[in-house]
Amino acid sequence: MRQALHGLPATSETAQSAIHQWLTENQSLRIIAIYSALPGEIDLSAFIQRHDLITWVFPKVRGDALTFHTGEDLRPGAFGILEPADGSAEVPVASIDAFICPGLAFDLQGGRLGRGRGFYDRMLSLSRPDALKIGICFPSQIVPNTFSEIHDVLMDRVLC
């Protein structure tokens, strides 16, 4: 899957339209966790700027855990990924209404194949039971089975 993602465009109008529709259907959401895109992931940075009534929070790697912070000032952090600068306001995971999650692959049962370090699964296991977990991907990232394990957190919905 890593090799298949090389050369994909940074944006997807179809995915952005799907997220816009999802936001329209879920207008009560106020705090949404987003991510800073790596190559092969859909870059939503321009999209979130057009939706400024939502508080968008970004992950920051802290050892083996992710914390979430407001994203006014993003800088290269762990693994070279843009993340909130030190000193940015932390937002408790329990305050987050929805998580938009990248991945290498997704299946139609909500399975998500991450990058192998377990950051998202550990963090999502601590989220509120009613917090929505939304996978975002290109259509080519949908596979028949991600072979989810007991510790893997399923997505409530996958948008492409």
Instruction: Kindly report whether the global pTM for this prediction surpasses the value 0.85.
Output: yes
Per residue in 22-46, pLDDT (tens digit) is 999 999 999 999 999 988 889 999 9
Q: Where are the domains of the chain?
A: 2-159
Per residue in 101-118, pLDDT (tens digit) is 999 999 999 999 998 788
Class of domain 2-159: alpha beta
Tell me, what amino acid is at 33? Answer: A
